[in-house]
Structure 1
């Protein structure tokens, strides 16, 4: 999600010329001007008592006083990131740090914490060694974890940095717990030094998670690039089939842009009871799936969909990116209106890739598209928050949902996925089938990532999309992206001979508008839908519905509501915070839609041709 010019330069130099990762100008000090110094930063990561959930970190800065200003100021400011790229929430990683100490020349030096994530070390010495411990007991793709079975490191929450040294090369040595044999990471190994890795800058370190333990690994080659898969957790799978399907997904994803940017790629896969999704990195990803992910065709395709999503981030986000998403500010929110593109259109591509790779039939893909439209159209928040606003507010709303979120927000993932489908259709129809969304991705990759070596602005993205489409996209951007107005879906689907039809029946049954959950025989309101009778008449989240029209509900609310007509008024007895009260609620019409895609009558040859191109039907 970040791409620094210095990283590209250093990586190229190291690869082509084999320069060492650290270099210090050894010219003699003339007593007037300090010699030019490139400081060496090294980290040593240990976990001597994994059952306590602690990692221990030793950070060493060599020849750093001049570069950091410590020689002049008399101190170093050492910081811990507050978030990790790809997960747009301030996570306050410093809350897990304890035991911060600093030494130079074998002697302890004074340090103090001056803000929530910053420690000031009072010394002007060139060489500084810092020790601290990190509590790690949350196994997600965006946090660190260690127990007696394995360790997982999200580097943003493990390794500290100095602002002036973020662009300098560094090394990490991992010392696994005595019973563990494997370390898996996309970081470049240092020849001849066990479990030691290097990176050209702090950004790449943050972008390289580390799995430590006894994980099983296997490999495959896709798009001429070697791939490694590290599997943690008890599960059963057919390695041959899995490797073959990984290959199909990865090669289809690579065909979108037509160029693979990596020398190698690493999948870290955790098999844990709740699953949990994935997080993309520059040349790796971490996936969390259930232990039964490979057991059925349905769950297996969901797994492959996750693989396709995180893998396509190699291009969309990590290299094709809004200008705000790199280089990163690790202390503050990094705002953009384009997460609907970065994440949502990646969600679009995850299913489009599986269709193109042959995992979905055309009909199955159409069902998925209709499902995604139903998903956003049945959420009241789609008429409140635009995709652009959803992207901007990710930091305060996207990762912090509450009982009113469905009423007031829309996910930039789900709305963005639908917008990706519509933009693809707009480009197809605007170019008479000559181009599609792939051409836009290729243009952005070549123009901004490779040529200008930066991200793009909102306006630059819009100009690029219209250039590739060969037409104005006012309706797409003004309505679909930047407003919460209803979208005219059939204006897009007509080009491929399809129409969106609402199959929801109107049977006259009344709609309450309260989502409930049953706990120990008690029916409790969990959400109240905006505009419904429950919303307008005052049912609240947290209310226990005790009785309706004098009849006790228990766990059988649906039976009591069955057959009640629109306009019927219910006398609802609720327990609210220990007090009983009666509320009259009038049932409304059911607002939920059930869209499906159907062929138009008598499609033209042009519509049939675009349909085949859209769905890659030979």
Structure 2
């Protein structure tokens, strides 16, 4: 992945100012001698160049759109030239060090890293392993960002080191063509399990750190199916070797995509049950899709990566949301999950969307741009959307519309196939480019649809979307309805500690808010969890709420709303038409079923 410099003036200026040798390279070494204390010692040698060298540690890592201040773990920084002479240096901001160099001599820097952020998937060291994302360990200089790099690990003798990067001269050395490849190719080193196989001439590896209730045979069987589905969307594979890294842990959970690898973290006991396993394989599929969508092509604003500041784009809903849509789609097409399981997940996503008041306030383009400052919590759900879930539903809506408008000849897969073909890195694409592709592949202008659903809060008609492919969305026959206050709270010792209030819901209209403590209803102390206690009342009934706010007792009247005992689910229509069946197959790649 070679950075494209001429289109970005700041990088042009940098390249004109620095005159780095054509065949220069940067050498890194990480020594782990105090793993139990989460400490590592890093040294890096940079080529000779100008009178000053500025080195930086990234302020964020790819795949997580949030500044992380990773330099807060750096201590004992020093610099010297190749003759061993100490060089003067000063820290010029939170993550940058400026060094006065010796003419025509290389610069060697050394520092200690405290690595105890496993859940961030940026830096972690203990006595059994190290997970090394370069953004959390290895400083870089903009002057030498395009130069070749080597990484040498000095680790315990019984450790094994695995990365998507190429191996160097020994088993704990890795090489890359530039820093951008290094920073997008994490290393897992330690006591682990390693499995290797081939599919269609490409090499795959699964490395697992930690003990758990996982079944590696099952994982490999399904991963073999998964990696064959890439051709269902794209015309080519961007790698010859791919590594699935798995952490079976206590506490950390999540995953991050990389150039030709992924890191997946799950609770060590959350692999065996079917729902848990689907969670794992869906995550694997999500990160696999990212190999194209984000690592093969991505929006302007994300290319080239600026490692020290926000990288703004209004298309994160495509980068992440479309990936979330395709991950389940590939599992169906690869015969890894059943249609019933697929529709269970889709139903859950629709219900979560409908229960999120923020969908009426913020558009997908706005939430994409604001992801860097998203504060989460109660305000987030009430006034914001989510690039993953909202983006997935919008991608599905666009897919169904394309399929319907073209009688099954065109789909959203054609859009991403074209993005990969015409906007492969180092290019970046814009909203205008996506709209142009939509028109090119379908012959229709989607500008009005885009304005209504992407640049404005989307009002998706799920009934119409599902009916297009012979499905419906309704409550199960066994549903019943109970009273609700439209709030979430933790019950303890007769009190309800409110942590979420639905915008314009019953509690909201009654004036209740987060951090209020409900102590009585109709003058009586609450004797059981709130939802269970409300079963004494009926929807539409008014109740008196006594609550503490700032340690002062207040009261208010609350009109109870209605809540279904079971959420809506997707099911088959009774008599699907031939067209509905055909569009269903064009969508999911499988025949319309006789039952679910």
**Kept after mapping to 2: 8 A contact 1:141/1:287:** no
Q: How far, CA to CA, are the matches of 1:194 and 1:341 in structure 2? A: 38
Candidates 256, 259, 274, aligned match of 1:279: 256
Q: How far, CA to CA, are the matches of 2:232 and 2:479 in structure 1? A: 45
Candidates 97, 103, 108, aligned match of 1:129: 108
- Judged with a 3 Å threshold, the aligned counterparts in structure 2 of structure 1 residues 509 and 240 are, in CA distance, closer, same or farther, namely closer
Candidates 391, 401, 407, aligned match of 1:432: 407
The equivalent residue for 2:278 is 301
Helix, strand or coil for the counterpart of 1:204?
helix
The equivalent residue for 1:612 is 585
Helix, strand or coil for the counterpart of 2:116?
coil
* TM-fit CA distance, 1:264: 0.7
Structure 2 residue 537 is the aligned partner of structure 1 residue 533: no
**Kept after mapping to 2: 8 A contact 1:504/1:594:** no
- Judged with a 3 Å threshold, the aligned counterparts in structure 2 of structure 1 residues 490 and 214 are, in CA distance, closer, same or farther, namely same
Alignment of 1:456-535 (within 5 A): 456-474=429-447, 476-501=449-474, 509-519=482-492, 522-535=495-508
Could you list the runs of 4 or more consecutive aligned residues of structure 1 that deviate by over 4 angstroms after TM superposition? 34-37, 502-509, 589-593, 598-602
Q: How far, CA to CA, are the matches of 1:168 and 1:39 in structure 2? A: 6
The equivalent residue for 1:255 is 232
- Judged with a 3 Å threshold, the aligned counterparts in structure 2 of structure 1 residues 579 and 223 are, in CA distance, closer, same or farther, namely farther
**Kept after mapping to 2: 8 A contact 1:232/1:270:** yes
Structure 2 residue 3 is the aligned partner of structure 1 residue 4: yes
Which whole-Å deviations, capped at 9, do the CAs of 1:9-32 have from their partners, x for residues lacking one? xxxxxxxxxxxxxxxxxxxxxxxx
The equivalent residue for 2:529 is 556
- Judged with a 3 Å threshold, the aligned counterparts in structure 2 of structure 1 residues 550 and 491 are, in CA distance, closer, same or farther, namely closer
Helix, strand or coil for the counterpart of 1:538?
coil
Structure 2 residue 353 is the aligned partner of structure 1 residue 354: no
**Kept after mapping to 2: 8 A contact 1:510/1:564:** yes
Structure 2 residue 230 is the aligned partner of structure 1 residue 230: no
Structure 2 residue 127 is the aligned partner of structure 1 residue 148: yes
Candidates 268, 273, 279, aligned match of 2:245: 268
Q: How far, CA to CA, are the matches of 2:526 and 2:572 in structure 1? A: 45
- Judged with a 3 Å threshold, the aligned counterparts in structure 2 of structure 1 residues 498 and 255 are, in CA distance, closer, same or farther, namely closer
**Kept after mapping to 1: 8 A contact 2:257/2:290:** yes
**Kept after mapping to 2: 8 A contact 1:517/1:525:** yes
Structure 2 residue 316 is the aligned partner of structure 1 residue 339: yes
Candidates 86, 91, 95, aligned match of 2:68: 91
**Kept after mapping to 2: 8 A contact 1:504/1:595:** no
Which whole-Å deviations, capped at 9, do the CAs of 1:138-170 have from their partners, x for residues lacking one? 112532011112111121111111111111111
**Kept after mapping to 2: 8 A contact 1:182/1:214:** yes
The equivalent residue for 1:185 is 163
- Judged with a 3 Å threshold, the aligned counterparts in structure 2 of structure 1 residues 470 and 493 are, in CA distance, closer, same or farther, namely farther
Structure 2 residue 298 is the aligned partner of structure 1 residue 314: no
**Kept after mapping to 1: 8 A contact 2:56/2:96:** yes
- Judged with a 3 Å threshold, the aligned counterparts in structure 2 of structure 1 residues 506 and 564 are, in CA distance, closer, same or farther, namely farther
Q: How far, CA to CA, are the matches of 1:434 and 1:242 in structure 2? A: 34
Structure 2: 5+ residue runs without aligned partners?
Answer: 6-18, 592-596
* TM-fit CA distance, 1:274: 3.1
Helix, strand or coil for the counterpart of 1:100?
strand
Helix, strand or coil for the counterpart of 1:48?
strand
Which whole-Å deviations, capped at 9, do the CAs of 1:167-195 have from their partners, x for residues lacking one? 1111111111x3542111111111x3341
Structure 1: 5+ residue runs without aligned partners?
Answer: 7-33
**Kept after mapping to 2: 8 A contact 1:325/1:334:** yes
The equivalent residue for 1:214 is 191
Alignment of 1:356-505 (within 5 A): 356-397=333-374, 400-449=375-424, 453-474=426-447, 476-501=449-474
Structure 2 residue 219 is the aligned partner of structure 1 residue 242: yes
The equivalent residue for 1:572 is 545
The equivalent residue for 1:329 is 306
Which whole-Å deviations, capped at 9, do the CAs of 1:176-223 have from their partners, x for residues lacking one? 1x3542111111111x33411111111111101111111110012223
- Judged with a 3 Å threshold, the aligned counterparts in structure 2 of structure 1 residues 508 and 208 are, in CA distance, closer, same or farther, namely closer
- Judged with a 3 Å threshold, the aligned counterparts in structure 2 of structure 1 residues 548 and 434 are, in CA distance, closer, same or farther, namely same
Which whole-Å deviations, capped at 9, do the CAs of 1:246-280 have from their partners, x for residues lacking one? 10011113432131111211111100123512100
Which whole-Å deviations, capped at 9, do the CAs of 1:539-583 have from their partners, x for residues lacking one? 121122111111111443234322423443322222333332223
Which whole-Å deviations, capped at 9, do the CAs of 1:68-125 have from their partners, x for residues lacking one? xx2xxx3211111101111100101111111111111211111111111111112243
Structure 2 residue 28 is the aligned partner of structure 1 residue 53: no
Helix, strand or coil for the counterpart of 1:530?
coil
Q: TM-score, normalising length from structure 1? A: 0.88
- Judged with a 3 Å threshold, the aligned counterparts in structure 2 of structure 1 residues 205 and 77 are, in CA distance, closer, same or farther, namely same
- Judged with a 3 Å threshold, the aligned counterparts in structure 2 of structure 1 residues 239 and 506 are, in CA distance, closer, same or farther, namely closer
Q: How far, CA to CA, are the matches of 1:270 and 1:560 in structure 2? A: 41
- Judged with a 3 Å threshold, the aligned counterparts in structure 2 of structure 1 residues 466 and 498 are, in CA distance, closer, same or farther, namely farther
Which whole-Å deviations, capped at 9, do the CAs of 1:436-466 have from their partners, x for residues lacking one? 222222111111117xx51211100111123
The equivalent residue for 2:10 is none
The equivalent residue for 1:39 is 24
- Judged with a 3 Å threshold, the aligned counterparts in structure 2 of structure 1 residues 41 and 435 are, in CA distance, closer, same or farther, namely same
* TM-fit CA distance, 1:593: 9.4
- Judged with a 3 Å threshold, the aligned counterparts in structure 2 of structure 1 residues 55 and 528 are, in CA distance, closer, same or farther, namely same
**Kept after mapping to 2: 8 A contact 1:141/1:288:** no
Q: TM-score, normalising length from structure 2? A: 0.91
**Kept after mapping to 2: 8 A contact 1:230/1:268:** yes
- Judged with a 3 Å threshold, the aligned counterparts in structure 2 of structure 1 residues 458 and 402 are, in CA distance, closer, same or farther, namely same
Q: How far, CA to CA, are the matches of 1:352 and 1:35 in structure 2? A: 47
Output the aligned Cα RMSD: 2.4
